[in-house]
Amino acid sequence: MTLQDVKRLFKQYTSREHSWLSVPITAATLLVLLVFVKSCQGIIYSHSNECRIYRLGYTIDEARALAAALSDEQADSLVARGEHDTIAYPIIGQRYFIAKNFDHYLALHKVDTAASLADIVAIVNVGDFPEGAIQAAHCDTSKGYLMLVNGQHFLDESYKPDSLVLFKKSYCYEEQKALSPVVEAFKAMQQECKKETDAQLMVNSAYRSYKQQITTHKNNNKRYVAQPGNSEHQTGLAIDVTSLQHPEKWAFDKSKEGVWMRENCHKYGFILRYPEKQSRILGYSYEPWHLRYVGKDVAKQIHDEDITFDEYYAYYLERQQAQ
Counting Cα atoms < 13 Å in the Cβ hemisphere of 102 gives 21
H helices, E strands: number in the chain: 16, 8
User: What are the DSSP E strand ranges found in the chain?
Assistant: 137-138, 153-154, 164-166, 177-179, 201-205, 238-243, 270-274, 287-293
Query: Is 287 one of the annotated active-site residues of the chain?
Result: yes
Half-sphere exposure of 27 (CA within 13 A, CB side): 11
3-state secondary structure of 60: helix
Is the Cβ–Cβ distance between 274 and 282 less than 8 Å?
yes
What are 137's strand-pairing partners?
Answer: 153
Strands 270-274 and 287-293: antiparallel
At residue 106, the 3 state secondary structure works out as helix
Catalytic residue among 50, 62, 232, 287: 287
Burial 69-87 (b: 16+ CB within 10 A, else e): bbeeebbeebeeeeeebeb
Listed in sequence order, the DSSP H helices in 206-278 are 210-219, 249-254, 256-264
Which own/partner contact pairs does 247-250 have at CB distance under 8 Å and 24+ positions apart? Answer: 247/173, 247/202, 247/204, 249/204, 249/288, 249/289, 250/288
Q: Which residue numbers are catalytic?
A: 287
